[in-house]
Amino acid sequence: MRSVILIRLVALTVLLYPLSEYIQAEDGYRLWLRYEPITDANIRASYLKVLGDIECDLSERSPQLTSAVEELRMGLDGLIGDRAGSEAPSIWLGIQQNITNKTRSNLENELRDLGNEGYLVKEIQEDPERKIIITGNTNKGVLYGVFVFLRHLQMHRPIEGMNLSSSPKISNRLLNHWDNLTQTVERTMAGSSIWNWFDLPYYIEPHYTDYARACASIGINGTVLTNVNANATVLQPQFLEKVAALADTFRSYGIRVYLTARFSAPIEIGGLRTADPLDPQVQAWWNEKANEIYSYIPDFGGFLVKANSEGQPGPQNYGRNHADGANMLARALEPHGGIVMWRAFVYDFEVKEDRHKQAYTEFTQLDGQFLPNVLLQIKNGAIDFMPREPFHPLFGATPHTPQALELQITQEYMGGDVHLAYLAPMWKETLNADTFVSGTGSTVGRVIDGSLFAYKHSAIAGVSNVGNERNWTGHPMAAANWYAFGRLAWDHEIRSESIAEEWTRMTFNNDPEFVESVKDLLLSSHPAVVDYSMPLGLHHIMAAGHHYGPGPWHDQGRPDWTSTYYHQADEVGIGFDRTQSGSNALEQYSHEVVKKWGDPQQIEEEYLLWFHHISWEFTMPSGNSLWDELCLRYQRGVNEVAKWEKQWERLRTKVDHQRHARITALLKRQHQDAIFWKDACLSYFQTFSKRPIPNGVEKPARNLEYYMNFKLHHVPGDPAEQW
């Protein structure tokens, strides 16, 4: 009997040990808004000397100011704890009109240029004491200031002499959710949609508020709730009630809601026989629909539209052009202050032109024909969110039509929520790229923030990686991309390194060794993913359908959805010739760009095979032949991921067990996936190069037939699996 009891005690101990770790662990739900108690006694003491009671006039009953006070109180309670009876100076927050006359006069110059969303967080002297003031010209600015102040504390930065101020460079900073009304999410692998449409508007899930908090904390002020492959049902009154319930929740955090508009909605839900944008009945239907939407949602932001692309209906179905379609919707929204974001991701396999060229050809001829509240929403590159793309030639090419930048936060072509890929450096490549359309310094960033051509409206959009996974993004480190998008949307000049450090400190801890190590992981991740999947300018060689793994052999179906269309490998070489001797897509860029990228000796190695068909024997800057360099790049990517596994293991004692274990497992899978990418691609391309695998590169473990016949089933986010 005693032995049985002993066995049971041992079993109970085994069970309780991992359970105790789980209780102490973190599931990632709080993202970067953790507000963990500051354990460093010196830092906490220095804060307690300065941070006293919160002073705020809530008599105006502003929902955004109320949210700001609640967030500040929650943050201070979590970070510092009880301040009851503190004799420290107060923290004052509110719009500048409510500041004392003396203080207001001292701050007027600083507030003047902050606009409607800017913030000022400052330590000031107001006799007989010093105090922290968080202010702006609007309550939305105050809310942003609170999040910035709490970020400052989370990172253990000093308060004395604090003077923080900023205003956004881009006015509309939006997440685009590719969420379907069925709660599936296209191309996002972090679970199902966070919108529980069936329960709305009767039950408001708590996570809707936490989603809004997370967005507001990084300056995101808009969200498109539905997939660009749109469903007209969302425009029905039954669903507008649901959208209104979300809008009511988000409004307290300065976030407006937008919807995708299916162009054929007048037929599908309106009972009309046509959706021709020049038909008076169609125009009247959209005018009435806009009025109806605004009766539910007075601050509705507008429509995002995907038309005449990948099977979606549009104005070209009726012999009209994109300006005709966009302007019809713009007229309906204009009286209410709404905007239309018209996606420039249009291409047609019936058009016998390089897919890279089609959007430029389509929209440059329409420049000046769009109404002022229409923006062209352009992907960072001309193909489709590849691991690395040269900037889209359309940027800056429509000086009379505002342009918005579309980035993909979810990693459709970079391993979904399984692979670590910090995307801020890639986005910075695009934002900092000089288009030369109006002389040197005509960067993509200046095009989209409106400063280059003095646009009235400016916008940036990020395709969300959020799902109903407990930690929101699946991979615990994928939230860094949500965070980075918001920070760059606010100010596209922020350094990727600074964003990585902020996110790491707030999401994990401030331990110097840990922060530097995780920063290194993040900053090395995107180059590694490019190396083991599509190096040297290779693109669109992923598996068909789900896009998760390699498929350079894919050659079935419409040509512009195959891999062979893009890599064009043969016994001579590899790469897509987009110079004058090929498709001449290069002609769509400015002269300065053409001069550099048109020469295989001058172009950055990262874009070489994007624009040139290069001989296998071509000598690279390293001295290697192209074939050897290609092989070595694939191996370099694999080696880098292997290094991460060891690097992360060394941090085991500096992070909670739950998140450490999950990231450990994901890095292990990423390493195996990287090997698979390398082996599959090199096995296939070797059939053309007919050259040996060079020294330093591990030979493929299996034959090409194995890789070509390998199938993944039911991959999350695959549109074919969602209905």
The residues assigned a catalytic role are 310, 384, 412
> Count of residues for the chain?
723
The rounded distance, in Å, linking the Cα atoms of 107 and 95 is: 12
Residues 6+ apart with CB under 8 A from 38: 44, 47, 79, 80, 153, 156
Rounded Cα distance, 394 and 31, in Å: 35
Sequence letter at residue 561:
W
Lookup: tokens for 44: 């906490």
What are the structure tokens assigned to 100, written together?
């004392």
Q: Are 154 and 505 in contact (CB under 8 A)?
A: yes
Instruction: Please identify which residue in the block is written with the tokens 């941070």.
Output: 51
DSSP-based three-state secondary structure for 498: helix
Question: Using CA atoms, how far apart are residues 171 and 219, in angstroms rounded to an integer?
Answer: 10
Residues in CB range of 316: below 8 A, 6 or more apart: 307, 308, 322
DSSP string for residues in 659-671: HHHHHHHHHHHHH
CA pseudo-torsion sign 150, 172, 433, 391: positive
Find out whether the peptide bond into 280 is cis, omega within 30 degrees of 0: no
> Is beta strand 119-126 parallel, antiparallel or unpaired with respect to 163-166?
antiparallel
Tell me the C-alpha to C-alpha distance, in Å, between residue 295 and each of 292, 332, 671. Answer: 5, 14, 52
Closest residue by Cα to residue 483 from 29, 30, 26, 32: 32
Assign 542 to helix, strand or coil. Answer: strand
Helix (H, G, I), strand (E, B) or coil at 260: strand
> Please, which residues bridge with residue 625 across strands?
619
Q: Can you name the residues that pair with 132 across neighbouring β-strands? A: 91, 123
Query: For residues 648 and 642, is the Cβ–Cβ distance under 8 A?
Result: no
Q: What angle do CA 300, 302, 305 make, to 5 degrees?
A: 150
* DSSP reduced 3-state for 174: strand
Q: How far apart are CA 446 and CA 92, in angstroms?
A: 35
CA-derived radius of gyration, the chain: 27
Reported as type and span, the H/E element at residue 485 is helix 479-490
Q: 718 phi and psi, to 5 degrees?
A: -75, 120
Identify which of 388, 426, 397, 412 has the alpha carbon closest to the alpha carbon of residue 611. 388
- Assign residue 589 a region (left: φ > 0; alpha: ψ between -120 and 50; beta: otherwise): beta
CB 282 within 8 A of CB 328: yes
Helices 206-217 and 479-490: angle between axes, nearest 10 degrees? 50
Spatial distance between the Cα atoms of 228 and 230, rounded to a whole number of angstroms: 5
